[in-house]
Structure 1
Amino acid sequence: MKTVKKLYIPVLFKFWISHGFALLWLTFSVYLSLPWVRDLASVIGIVPAILSIAGIAYFPGYMNAFMVISLLIEKQPKLKVYNPTDPLSILISCRNEEKGIRDTLKFISQQDYEGEIKVIVIDNASTDKTGTMALGAGKDYNLNVKVIYEGKPGKNFALNKALKIVDTPFVITLDADTLLTRSAIRLLVCRLLSAPKEICAVAGAVLVRNSRKNFWTKIQEWDYFLGIASIKRLQGFYQGTLVAQGAFSLYKRDTLLEIGGWDDAIGEDIVLTWKMLHINCKVYFEPLAVAFTDVPETFIHFVRQRSRWARGMIEAVKKVKPWKQPTVFTRYLTGSNLLFPFADFVYTFIWIPGLILAFFGHYFIVGATFFYVLPLALLTNYVMYNFQRKVFQSLGLKIRKNVFGFFAYVLTYQIFMSPISVWGYTQEFFKLKRVWK
């Protein structure tokens, strides 16, 4: 009995299919928004009205439509390697992490990876006993742990110093407050070895560990679980994950050496990834390689982290021009970032004031028509949730009940994020002092 071959649809064709549906959605949105345009134009003029609505609705709507269709037709390639034994090094840059480094090393020791694991802990100018605790944990958990010291503060300096002594083909970077699920390392390596040779890095899935603390951690749980994971899955589908995050990612050592390691940048992992993409190295995402990290618990630390991310994106754009990327996928994915400052500016200085005006009966910015233009948001969150639910089921994990956090995330998150991002862009424009924590 003959087996029927499944129809293969090239990724490039899926890419244009997704753009086609996004364009149809944009056309429909423009049609629905015409009354909104007229109302707003009567107050601020036709050109400012169109630009404002483009930043508030058209651009985000197009991006969401593109993501939804891409995720619906995306199919993660099957693994070809299941039990790799290649030696690898894990680099952990630490600054005053004596309280958490033991747990991080303990979870590394529990990995089901059958290859040799060398752990290099870089004490980055700590004033506590981080190095001593790391060496002690290495002995207690039977890990090959080496501690080196880097006196110049900065994650890039610490990682580059460690890279000089790495003698394994693969390198993982891991944050000192990040705990790995049992198969996280194995699945990262499996994905890299199962991929084409031009794949030089694989980003792991980082989720929130301390989500029960307060309002800020509750909404960040959904951002990591739905937003960040889904965007990375979309980008990985097009072989151009834009951030192989330093918190948990796998790289080929030769590629790191070829591009000169990590730049002196506040978003060193963003710049690193864009430099990889620029030399035609592709970056994947492995949703099953899950790690849990602590997120900021106070508003001020949340602001510093997210403004840092926004500033890092600008650094990447300045160092690696999107239009010079070698593939249509990476040109689109990185090029989209050029419009984010515009959208965040409009959201901050037009939409949020318009929301306030709506409470006083002035609906020319935020009114009923606005909600007709963006119904895709509900579908987007449903699609993202469905994908993540399947990931958790396959790993034997349960999704925490966080209904309050979900609605707070959907209804308020962008109200915080856009002004914070604008602050990050401003910091980079005026070259203000870098603040990491």
Structure 2
Amino acid sequence: MSVNAQDWSTRRRPFPITVRLPLAAANDISMHRPRYVPVVFKFMLAFAVSFGWATFAYVLSSHWTAGLESTGTRLLAQLLILGIAVLPAFMSVFLATGLLLDRRPVRSHFADGDFPAVSILIAAHNAQDTILDTLASIAAQRYPAPVEVMVINDGSTDATLDRLRSARYPWLEVLDLACAGGKSRALNAGLRLAAHPITVTLDADAHLHPQALRQLVTRYLSDPPNTAAVAGAVLVGNSRQNPMTRMQEWDYFQGISATRRVQSLCQGTLVAPATFSLYRTDILRVVGGWPECAGEDIVLTWAILRDHHRVGYAEDAIAFVRVPTSLASFFEQRRRWSRGVVEALKTYGSLLFRRKLSTFFIWWNLLLLYTDLIYTVALIPATVLACTGIYWLAGPVLVFAVPMALLGNLVIYAVQSRMFHTLGLNVRRNPLGLLGYALIYGLLLKPVSIAGYLSCLIPRHARHRV
């Protein structure tokens, strides 16, 4: 059914109620729960191990720079080493240790009648090539409760609307927007009409694993009662297209997934991406939905954290998406993501001073601005100095950062592979993509991230003068 914009204000749906864990399921969890290790203990252990390694790296590196001529030169050298070697080593060790300590909360077995009804929102703009496959993957879900799917056609100029009209699904509703207003506006239009207590967002080029929706909802039901959102696992579906997508496959499989998993362990996943995530509908409405900005996902997630809710992560609820295939589109995407981090810090910077475990990762994001900058400006000088026999900058990277990055990635690979096998999936062989991810990817990503940070920090009129 196609609905015009002027009809939105006249259509009313019941305000959703909070979904709570069924009593039988809660009892089942308490009877079969293994010995509980407090999250705070896990966090402190991971922090102690990573901080100890970083301190060792910094002290040893300081001895290497002691021979520099002036105090100012030594200070500059130490700041460079801190950003290019010490902090990256700290982050790698923390992620590896956190993953080794992480034990996903046991999911209970829910009866079909315990599952809540779900509204799925899909913002579609010029998605003629992918939208029917996305809908087919929804139709294949093994989900026992009612599902409504609202595809918001955001002013598409191709055959997206025709494809939607040809689809014959009883649960499908189409909202046709005459003019493209952006992803946030489209999702908010669907949110105003969502009938069910749980809202799931999905990109128009995403293909869901057959168990994805069920895994996402059961993770929500099994998580603590203050959970307001759960991020799904987003992986690359077009990795065989070209070298650019092959490298991104490893970024999504290794870096992004591991970071969100450890953030979830520390009770504060910082991004519930609209690509595939679950939200409580009532809380979405309370925080005002998706803001109209470059990083709407991260700003919305931080708004949820600001209101003292928890954001979880379902590592085995998988959506395969199409990632950028060209350098230009990749740069634009990552520049937008970097802008989102700065927008979130500018809007909800007060989260930096909350006494919660999730605050650690807010600071982590702030430190990324520094490490990305140092990596961008110091990598070439480090290489040049090493070629001339001067190793005080390249040495700490090779001795402290590189081995820990290798260790961290091996741990991440083992954890991710084990999760894949439980879903009946196999990790595809992609050695060329791995080589590019290890040697080239950072060279592309870090400068683009810096450009994104600066574009949000520098006033618009100043950028125009430059």
If the TM-score is normalised by the length of the shorter chain, which range does it land in? over 0.9
Offset of residue 116 of structure 1: 1.0
Give the counterpart of 2:39 among 11, 14, 25: 11
Give the counterpart of 1:370 among 386, 397, 400: 397
In the other structure, the counterpart of 1:92 is 122
Tell me, yes or no, if the aligned pair for 1:322 and 1:330 is still in contact at 8 Å.
Answer: no
Change (3 A) 1:6 1:404: same
SS in 1 for 2:193: coil
SS in 2 for 1:160: helix
SS in 1 for 2:37: coil
In the other structure, the counterpart of 1:120 is 150
Change (3 A) 1:4 1:246: closer
Offset of residue 219 of structure 1: 0.7
**Corresponding letter in the other structure for 2:55:** T
Tell me, yes or no, if the aligned pair for 2:331 and 2:448 is still in contact at 8 Å.
Answer: yes
SS in 1 for 2:357: helix
In the other structure, the counterpart of 1:349 is 377
Offset of residue 160 of structure 1: 0.9
Task: Tell me how far apart the structure 2 counterparts of residues 81 and 253 of structure 1 sit (CA, whole Å).
Answer: 24
Offset of residue 147 of structure 1: 2.8
What TM-score do the two structures reach when normalised by structure 2?
A: 0.87
In the other structure, the counterpart of 1:315 is 343
**Corresponding letter in the other structure for 1:123:** N
Change (3 A) 1:4 1:213: closer
In the other structure, the counterpart of 1:129 is 159
Task: Tell me how far apart the structure 2 counterparts of residues 229 and 110 of structure 1 sit (CA, whole Å).
Answer: 24
Offset of residue 78 of structure 1: 0.6
Change (3 A) 1:40 1:400: farther
SS in 2 for 1:397: coil
174-183 vs 42-51, which deviates more? Answer: 42-51
In the other structure, the counterpart of 1:302 is 330
In the other structure, the counterpart of 1:381 is 409
**Corresponding letter in the other structure for 1:340:** L
Tell me, yes or no, if the aligned pair for 1:88 and 1:172 is still in contact at 8 Å.
Answer: yes
248-257 vs 188-197, which deviates more? Answer: 188-197
In the other structure, the counterpart of 2:273 is 245
Offset of residue 129 of structure 1: 2.5
Task: Tell me how far apart the structure 2 counterparts of residues 366 and 42 of structure 1 sit (CA, whole Å).
Answer: 16
Offset of residue 36 of structure 1: 3.6
Summarize deviations over 1:130-157 as a string: whole Å, max 9, x none. Answer: 12312322x1x45433333262421111
Change (3 A) 1:356 1:44: farther
Q: Does 1:25 align with 2:53?
A: yes
Change (3 A) 1:34 1:153: same
In the other structure, the counterpart of 1:330 is 358
Offset of residue 364 of structure 1: 4.2
Q: Does 1:229 align with 2:250?
A: no
Change (3 A) 1:4 1:338: closer
Tell me, yes or no, if the aligned pair for 1:150 and 1:157 is still in contact at 8 Å.
Answer: no
Task: Tell me how far apart the structure 1 counterparts of residues 33 and 185 of structure 2 sit (CA, whole Å).
Answer: 51
105-114 vs 345-354, which deviates more? Answer: 345-354
Change (3 A) 1:414 1:161: same
In the other structure, the counterpart of 1:214 is 242
Tell me, yes or no, if the aligned pair for 1:156 and 1:264 is still in contact at 8 Å.
Answer: yes
Summarize deviations over 1:202-251 as a string: whole Å, max 9, x none. Answer: 11101001111111111100000011110010011112111001100000
**Corresponding letter in the other structure for 1:257:** R
The aligned length equals 429
In the other structure, the counterpart of 1:76 is 104
Tell me, yes or no, if the aligned pair for 1:26 and 1:61 is still in contact at 8 Å.
Answer: yes
Task: Tell me how far apart the structure 2 counterparts of residues 53 and 94 of structure 1 sit (CA, whole Å).
Answer: 45
Task: Tell me how far apart the structure 2 counterparts of residues 92 and 342 of structure 1 sit (CA, whole Å).
Answer: 35
Change (3 A) 1:39 1:53: farther
In the other structure, the counterpart of 1:413 is 441
Change (3 A) 1:287 1:4: closer
In the other structure, the counterpart of 2:282 is 254
Offset of residue 366 of structure 1: 4.4
**Corresponding letter in the other structure for 2:394:** G
124-133 vs 68-77, which deviates more? Answer: 124-133
In the other structure, the counterpart of 2:18 is none
Give the counterpart of 1:422 among 433, 450, 454: 450
Summarize deviations over 1:5-51 as a string: whole Å, max 9, x none. Answer: 95422111211111111111112212332344336676970111111
Task: Tell me how far apart the structure 2 counterparts of residues 278 and 423 of structure 1 sit (CA, whole Å).
Answer: 27
Across the aligned residues of Structure 1 and Structure 2, the Cα RMSD in angstroms comes to 2.2
**Corresponding letter in the other structure for 1:373:** F
Change (3 A) 1:39 1:102: farther
Give the counterpart of 1:274 among 302, 308, 328: 302
Summarize deviations over 1:177-219 as a string: whole Å, max 9, x none. Answer: 0100001001111111112210011111010011111111111
Q: Which runs of 5+ in 1 are unaligned?
A: none
Tell me, yes or no, if the aligned pair for 2:149 and 2:171 is still in contact at 8 Å.
Answer: yes
Tell me, yes or no, if the aligned pair for 2:77 and 2:393 is still in contact at 8 Å.
Answer: no
Offset of residue 295 of structure 1: 0.6
Percent identical among aligned pairs is 38
What TM-score do the two structures reach when normalised by structure 1?
A: 0.93
Summarize deviations over 1:300-347 as a string: whole Å, max 9, x none. Answer: 111001111111100000111154564421211112211111111111
Change (3 A) 1:150 1:354: farther
Q: Does 1:144 align with 2:172?
A: yes
Summarize deviations over 1:237-269 as a string: whole Å, max 9, x none. Answer: 112111001100000001101101111111100
Offset of residue 352 of structure 1: 3.0
SS in 2 for 1:164: helix
In the other structure, the counterpart of 1:393 is 421
**Corresponding letter in the other structure for 2:370:** F
Task: Tell me how far apart the structure 1 counterparts of residues 118 and 383 of structure 2 sit (CA, whole Å).
Answer: 52
